[in-house]
A and B are shown apart, each in its own frame.
Chain A
Amino acid sequence: MPEDHDWEAYKVPPTRTPVSERTTSVPNPANYFQSAFNYVFDTPVTFVREWIERLQSKNKFYYYHQKFRRVPDLSECLEGDYLCYYEAEAQWRRDRMVDQEIVEIVRERMAACKQREGPNQFQNCAKEMELLAQVTKAYQDRYGDLGYHGNARTCLMKQKHRMMEERKAAQEKQ
C-alpha cells in the first residue's frame, strides 16, 4: 500500500472558519451528502481495512534501514589500492543517494508550504525558499555537472578545481 506522507512534518495550521449561526430552518444539504459518502464508501472500506489489519497484526515482522559503516574516503586511499577505491566509490554513491533524498525532502516541504499558504506564499514561505536555494546550490556545487558517468574520482577532481579557483580568487582579492 502506498504510504501517506508524514502528517507531522508539514503541519497544516488550524482552520479559522467562524462558527456559523443558523438563521434558516432549512437543513444543510452538505450534511446529507457527507452521511451518504460515509455509508457508501467510508464505512465499508474502513471495515475491510481494519479486518485486514487485525489479521496481519497476529504475526508482525519488521524491516529496518541499513546502517553502513564509514570507510576511508577516496582522498585517503593510497594510489593503486583498488580495494580502497572500490569501498570509497560505494560509499560515495550511497552518500549521493542520501543527498538526492535530502533535496527531495526540502523540495516537498517547499511545495507543502506553497500549498498551505496559497496567495501568501511569497511572504510566509521565505525560510523554506531560502533553505531550498541553499540546498540545491550545495548539491549543484558538489554533484552538479559530473554527468551520467560521474564517480567518486570525478567528484574529487571537481572539488579540487573548486578549491583551486577559490584560492585564486582569494589571491586576486589581495
Chain B
Amino acid sequence: MSRVLRAAAAWAARRAGGAATTGTITGISGIAPRLPGTLVPVRHSGDHGKRMFIIKATSFYDSRFLSLLRFYLFLTGIPVAVLLTYINVFIGEAELAEIPEGYVPEHWEYYKHPISRWIARYVLDPPEKNYEKDMAMLDREARKSELRIMELEARRLMRHRGDGPWYHYETPDKNLVDNSMKSTPDN
C-alpha cells in the first residue's frame, strides 16, 4: 500500500514540479490513482515509507451533523426501542376469545395490543361516555332549537293577529287629529 502511495507521491511531485509545491485538485487529471484530495509528500519519512498529508475538502461540518443526528435520534430512539421490545416479547398481545356468559368486558378489553389497551384504559374516555356526551349535546341543542322555532312562530302570529302582548306601538290619541281639511274635498 505504501509503495502505491510512494509512486503516486513521486508522480504528483513530478507533476507539481518540486517537492515543496502543492497541486490543486483540478490539477490531477488523467489515469492517475484517485486518492481523496491531493497528496503532498511530507518529510520525516522514517521506516514506515513516505508519510502523506492528504489535502481534501473539510468533512468537519458533515461529520458533526451526522454525529449530532445520531445522538438526538438515539437519545429517545433507543429507550423507545427497548420499551417496545420488552412489551412485545414479555407482555405480548391479547388473544381473541368469546365473551363469557354474563360477563360485560371493560371498554379496554376490546383491543389487542397492550399499548392500545393501556391508552384506552388510562388516557382516553370510554366510548360509552363519548356517546352519552354527544347525545347530551344533541338533546340540549334540539331543545334550544325547538324553543327558538316556537318563539319565532309566536312572534309571527302576534304581529299578524295583533292580539298578543307583543308588538304594541304607541300611536297618538285620535282626539288630537285635525279633521277640518279632510271635511272639504276640493281644497
The 8 A CB mask of B93-124 against A (1 = contact, 0 = none) is: 11111110000010001111000010000000
B91 at the interface (CB under 8 A from A): yes
Q: Which of B91, B109, B142 contacts A80 (CB 8 A)?
A: B142
Q: Which chain B residues border A56 with CB–CB below 8 Å?
A: 90-92
Classify chain A's interface size. 10 to 19
B135 at the interface (CB under 8 A from A): yes
A66 touches B95 (CB 8 A): no
Q: Which of A55, A63, A87 contacts B97 (CB 8 A)?
A: A63
What CA separation (Å) do A90 and B99 show in the bound complex? 22
B112 touches A63 (CB 8 A): yes
Q: Which chain A residues border B139 with CB–CB below 8 Å?
A: 82-83
A37 at the interface (CB under 8 A from B): no
Number of cross-chain contacts by CB at 8 Å = 55
A82 touches B142 (CB 8 A): yes
- Contact flag A64-B135 (CB < 8 Å), given A55-B89, A56-B91, A82-B142: no
- Contact flag A86-B135 (CB < 8 Å), given A55-B89, A63-B112, A64-B110: yes
A7 at the interface (CB under 8 A from B): no
- Contact flag A63-B96 (CB < 8 Å), given A55-B89, A83-B135: yes
B124 shortest CB reach to chain A, Å: 15
A149 at the interface (CB under 8 A from B): no
Q: Which chain A residues border B131 with CB–CB below 8 Å?
A: 90
Q: Which chain B residues border A55 with CB–CB below 8 Å?
A: 89-90, 92
What CA separation (Å) do A63 and B131 show in the bound complex? 22
Q: Which of A66, A86, A87 contacts B110 (CB 8 A)?
A: A66
Classify chain B's interface size. 20 to 34
The 8 A CB mask of A58-89 against B (1 = contact, 0 = none) is: 00111111110000000000001011001100
A83 touches B92 (CB 8 A): no
Q: Which chain A residues border B117 with CB–CB below 8 Å?
A: 63
B92 touches A62 (CB 8 A): no
- Contact flag A62-B134 (CB < 8 Å), given A52-B89, A55-B90, A56-B91: no
B135 touches A63 (CB 8 A): no
A83 touches B138 (CB 8 A): yes
Which chain A residue shows the least CB distance to B96?
Answer: A63
Q: Which of B109, B138, B146 contacts A64 (CB 8 A)?
A: B109
Which chain B residue shows the least CB distance to A63?
Answer: B94
A64 touches B134 (CB 8 A): no
B135 shortest CB reach to chain A, Å: 5
- Contact flag A82-B90 (CB < 8 Å), given A62-B95, A64-B109: no
Q: Which chain A residues border B134 with CB–CB below 8 Å?
A: 86
What CA separation (Å) do A100 and B138 show in the bound complex? 29
Binding site for A on B (CB under 8 A): 89-99, 105, 109-112, 117, 131, 134-135, 138-139, 141-142, 146
A and B contact pairs by CB, cutoff 8 A, 7 listed: A55-B89, A63-B94, A63-B97, A64-B98, A82-B142, A83-B139, A83-B142
Of all A-B residue pairs in the complex, the 4 with the closest CB atoms, nearest first, are A56-B92, A63-B94, A62-B97, A82-B142
Binding site for B on A (CB under 8 A): 1, 52, 55-56, 60-67, 80, 82-83, 86-87, 90
